């Protein structure tokens, strides 16, 4: 959709496991900050038939193996793969949105973005950390929260890398989609949610 006055937008947050309520709250606040959006709805998405009405889907952080199995149990894999809107994928969502996972055969990736991802790249839960990252498109660095986080070790030619750490790619955009290795929904900085929405509106 092209950016124009009085846009209506609907975002479904995949509500199978993980940081669902945090993403709903963050997107509601981000949408409220964008002037040309006249009306919006953010909801917990659980059923295949709910996808068609969405402009975007968020795949939240959580346990990627569990989310992958629940996607199949709830018959969501094909509708998500066929979805023409934007995907906002964080932490476990980045793993699921990848085209290839190099260290795990239990998670079936959705191949939404042309990324090769390594799960738990920084260790276990106790190795969680925060880091200030320069993000292309943001004027000031972003304070990112990493919890059992992945990294992308390679990206295809259609992927725009917008954030890196020494270990690998931690933020990337492909068309309407954005994948982040960290948890922007856990802080008060809404700039990445807003950046995703504005990019979505410019298609």
The per-residue pLDDT for range 3-31, each reduced to its tens digit, is 444 678 999 999 999 889 999 999 999 99
Name the phi and psi angles at 20, rounded to 5: -75, -55
Among the options 22, 23, 116, 183, which is catalytic? Answer: 183
Among the options 116, 185, 193, 194, which is catalytic? Answer: 185
Tokens of 163: 């954030």
Q: Which residues contact 16 (CB under 8 A, 6 or more apart)?
A: 46, 62, 66, 67, 70, 71, 74
| Catalytic status, residue 91 | yes
| Catalytic status, residue 54 | no
Q: Kindly report whether the global pTM for this prediction surpasses the value 0.85.
A: yes
Q: Which residues contact 83 (CB under 8 A, 6 or more apart)?
A: 51, 54, 57
Tokens of 59: 């795949």
Among the options 22, 23, 54, 91, which is catalytic? Answer: 91
Q: In order of start, what are the domains of the chain with their CATH numbers? A: 7-201 (3.40.50.880)
**Spans of the chain below 70 pLDDT:** 1-6, 122-127
What distance in Å separates the CA atoms of residue 103 and residue 120, rounded to the nearest whole number?
A: 9
| pLDDT digits 0-9 by tens, 114-142 | 999 998 776 655 557 899 999 999 999 99
Instruction: Give the model's pLDDT for residue 3.
Output: 40
Instruction: Give the model's pLDDT for residue 162.
Output: 98
**Residue/partner pairs of 106-112 with CB below 8 Å, 24 or more apart:** 106/65, 106/68, 107/64, 107/65, 107/68, 108/68, 108/72, 108/77, 110/71, 110/77, 110/80, 110/81, 111/81, 112/80, 112/81, 112/87, 112/177
What distance in Å separates the CA atoms of residue 193 and residue 203, rounded to the nearest whole number?
A: 16
């Amino acid at each position: 959709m092209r950016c124009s006055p009085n846009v209506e937008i609907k975002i479904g947050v995949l509500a199978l496991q993980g940081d669902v309520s945090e993403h709903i709250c963050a997107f509601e606040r981000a949408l409220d900050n964008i002037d040309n959006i006249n009306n919006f709805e953010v909801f917990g998405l659980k059923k295949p038939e709910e996808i068609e009405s969405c402009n975007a889907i968020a795949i939240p952080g959580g346990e990627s193996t569990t989310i992958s199995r629940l996607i199949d149990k709830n018959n969501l894999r094909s509708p998500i793969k066929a979805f023409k809107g934007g995907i906002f994928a964080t932490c476990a969502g980045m793993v699921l949105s990848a085209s290839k996972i190099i260290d795990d055969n239990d998670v079936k990736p959705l191949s939404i973005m042309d990324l090769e991802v390594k799960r738990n790249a920084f260790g276990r839960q106790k190795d969680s950390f925060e880091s200030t990252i320069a993000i292309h498109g943001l004027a000031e660095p972003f304070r990112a929260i990493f919890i059992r986080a992945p990294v992308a070790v390679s990206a295809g030619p259609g992927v725009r890398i917008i954030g890196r750490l020494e270990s690998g790619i931690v933020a990337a955009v492909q068309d309407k989609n954005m994948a982040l290795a960290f948890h922007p929904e856990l802080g008060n900085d809404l700039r990445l949610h807003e950046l995703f929405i504005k990019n979505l509106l410019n298609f």
